Structure 1
Amino acid sequence: MTVRAVIKGVGHYLPERVVPNAEFEATLDTTDEWIRTRSGIERRHFAAEGETTSQMGAHAARAALKDAGIDASDIDMVVVATSTPDLTFPSVATMIQKDLGMTKGFAFDVQAVCAGFIYALSNANAQIVSGQAKRVLVIGAETFSRIMDWTDRSTCVLFGDGAGALVLEAAEGTGTSEDRGILSVDLNSDGTYRDMLYVDGGVSTTGTAGKLRMQGNPLFRQAVSKLASTAETAMEKANITSADIDWVVPHQANIRIIEGTAKKLGLSMDKVVVTVQDHGNTSAASIPLAMSVGKARGQIKQGDICVAEAIGGGLAWGAVVLRW
């Protein structure tokens, strides 16, 4: 018998405040056209004053639990991917655990920036396959609006806030690619690329949260090649080819990266779930957000093979192949 981590439910949350590109024209040397042509982004959501990463994550978790038809008390583990926690500690996951009324199980955070949700999925899959947990909440939640330099037009127009969540449950499989659930994982990192994307603050350096810094052009080149490579490796591990893929659910950073990766994989954009125009880059929240929206749109259906891939600061990158 093979144990698989199967998706039972999905949900997301977006803050009420919608910020169109035009709003930046009053304070920056930029235009709606400049932002759209370089990123594909048209609008994004920003958290309200006092609205936290854990609160957004809890909203998304409740939506996923409702979609799965189970109660929070049925969850054994909560893992949250985030780079923007409410506090240095405790973890966002334990805050969400409390918010959901859970008094058992275990909860922790994973930090791999925009690749965080892939790393969290991998961890959840390992816990289920090893028998440590039967049902797991995997959440990506971010408030990147809190670490933006609002004078830097090359970065502050790209990011947004939000949260997405999946409920995974252990199920028996045959050990083949016909199984539902997570079929393969590929994870990578290389710290020599640190300066391409980082935040210039932290507990042991400045004692502040800091602001996001990015080298856009070099990062773009690394992103396309590394995303295509990790997706291909994950597909090989799952014993599938591009022809078997129903949907690519990429990290929603930039439409040009998404298009470039799809081209390298030999896939039409008709097979790619795209939400970057509405959400901007929500870092670790972007893949579960896109999965939830993709299901709500009627794109992703049970039985579909999906490839999720992401790259973020570190650099850290990876991919997951799953059958919905």
Structure 2
Amino acid sequence: MTFARIAGTGGFVPGEPVSNQDLVERGIDTSDQWIVERTGIRYRHLAEKGAATSDLALEASRRALDAAGVEANDIDLVIVATSTADCIFPSTAALLQAKLGITNGCAAFDVQAVCSGFVYAMSIAEKFIASGSNRRALVVGAEVFSRILDWNDRGTCVLFGDGAGAIVLEASDEPGVLASALHADGSHSPILCAPGTLAAGGVTGDPFLRMDGQAVFKLAVRVLGEVAHETIDAADLTLGDIDWLIPHQANIRIMQSTARRLKLDMDNVVVTVDRHGNTSAASIPLALDVAVRDGRIQRGQRVMLEGVGGGFTWGAVLFRF
């Protein structure tokens, strides 16, 4: 039986950290206290004008390849999870493939599941590897959400940041990914969306991200708890078997509520929302990379990733690192 295990991780955030006070000084009607109390966010990173999602993905990917000890042409599948693609087409994954110098003709495609995108992408890559059709996948979550924010809407613009995270997932005889579960319910799309559409050479309708924070909070806490139990059951394990939980980094209160539902101590939850803000599909792989590089996550430990995002989408992946 072929398994898929993580061989290396990488992360990248652009520029210097932008503090809550920096946003106040830029004229946004908010305060550090207001943001921290409601979200736990203290800093975020914002891409410079002209920096594309594939540029951020490139840096994270190089670091993941280095950590895995492989060359770019050793990759035979590239999947990028993003809601802020470089262009309408080609895919950001194809552009990343070219920037990495991958010339072997491997498949490359994007996954659009917003903040759940990396969990979706990793689950898809695992299926390709387990089937035997691929040996080594580069899975990336990358976003430049600052491009779709209404900077006059203090309820949303203070929440998000830009960044990228990546993993190299490779075939192994030893168990890596143990179980996963993916879900969506499009009836909830109005509570978190960017409803603009492309037509006649421009964007029609509202081009910015819009969110009903209270509705998102209630739905997120419920489905994150449910999908965690579903994934644990699928792996025939218990909550006590989880060493680390890495949830989507959107709001510290959502993470705390989820941990309580799962009877997990917050010491076993990886939190980076305070320094990165909500980086959508990049948030989970960024947090994973931080915890791997600072030594918290060790080989052999069981880690659960779970995300929830616009769509509405949600999912979880449980793996042995």
What TM-score, normalized by structure 1, do the two folds share? Answer: 0.96
Q: CA deviation at 1:296?
A: 1.2
Q: Helix, strand or coil: the match of 2:154?
A: coil
For the 8 Å contact 1:17–1:48, the answer to whether it is kept is no
Distance in 2 (CA, whole Å) between partners of 1:12 and 1:77 is 19
Residue identity in the other structure for 2:42: E
Q: CA deviation at 1:202?
A: 2.1
Q: Paired residue for 1:197?
A: 192
- Structure 2 alignment gaps of length 5 or more: none
> What does 1:45-124 align with in structure 2 at a 5 Å threshold?
45-104=45-104, 105-124=106-125
1:219 aligns with 2:220: no
Distance in 1 (CA, whole Å) between partners of 2:284 and 2:7 is 16
Distance in 1 (CA, whole Å) between partners of 2:91 and 2:197 is 16
Residue identity in the other structure for 2:142: A
CA pair 130-68 structure 1, distance change in 2 beyond 3 A: same
Residue identity in the other structure for 1:14: V
1:321 aligns with 2:280: no
Q: Paired residue for 1:5?
A: 4
Distance in 1 (CA, whole Å) between partners of 2:37 and 2:135 is 45
Q: CA deviation at 1:3?
A: 1.2
Q: CA deviation at 1:200?
A: 2.3
Residue identity in the other structure for 2:168: V
Q: Helix, strand or coil: the match of 2:146?
A: helix
Relative to structure 2, which stretch is displaced further, 202-211 or 241-250? 202-211
Q: Paired residue for 2:232?
A: 235
CA pair 199-247 structure 1, distance change in 2 beyond 3 A: same
1:273 aligns with 2:251: no
Q: Percent identity?
A: 50
Q: Helix, strand or coil: the match of 1:203?
A: strand
Q: CA deviation at 1:120?
A: 0.2
Distance in 1 (CA, whole Å) between partners of 2:200 and 2:294 is 44
For the 8 Å contact 1:10–1:292, the answer to whether it is kept is yes
Q: Helix, strand or coil: the match of 2:156?
A: coil
For the 8 Å contact 1:304–1:323, the answer to whether it is kept is yes
What TM-score, normalized by structure 2, do the two folds share? Answer: 0.97
Q: Helix, strand or coil: the match of 2:155?
A: coil
CA pair 236-206 structure 1, distance change in 2 beyond 3 A: farther
RMSD of equivalent CA atoms: 1.2
Residue identity in the other structure for 1:24: L
Distance in 1 (CA, whole Å) between partners of 2:100 and 2:189 is 36
Runs of 4+ in 1 over 4 A off after TM superposition: none
For the 8 Å contact 1:94–1:107, the answer to whether it is kept is yes
CA pair 204-227 structure 1, distance change in 2 beyond 3 A: farther
Distance in 2 (CA, whole Å) between partners of 1:205 and 1:216 is 32
What do residues 219-269 of structure 1 show as CA deviations (whole Å, max 9, x unaligned)?
100000100110110010011111011000110000000000000000000
Distance in 2 (CA, whole Å) between partners of 1:200 and 1:242 is 38
Distance in 2 (CA, whole Å) between partners of 1:43 and 1:160 is 9
Distance in 1 (CA, whole Å) between partners of 2:269 and 2:210 is 28
Q: Paired residue for 1:176?
A: none
Q: Helix, strand or coil: the match of 1:319?
A: strand
What do residues 67-108 of structure 1 show as CA deviations (whole Å, max 9, x unaligned)?
000000100000000000110110000111001101121100
Residue 292 of structure 1: which of 289, 292, 311 is its match?
289
Q: Paired residue for 1:154?
A: 155
Aligned residue pairs, count:
317
> What does 1:120-135 align with in structure 2 at a 5 Å threshold?
120-135=121-136
Q: Helix, strand or coil: the match of 2:177?
A: strand
Q: Paired residue for 1:185?
A: 180
Q: Helix, strand or coil: the match of 1:263?
A: helix
- Structure 1 alignment gaps of length 5 or more: 174-178
1:283 aligns with 2:292: no
What do residues 108-167 of structure 1 show as CA deviations (whole Å, max 9, x unaligned)?
000000000010011101100111210000000000000000000100000000000000
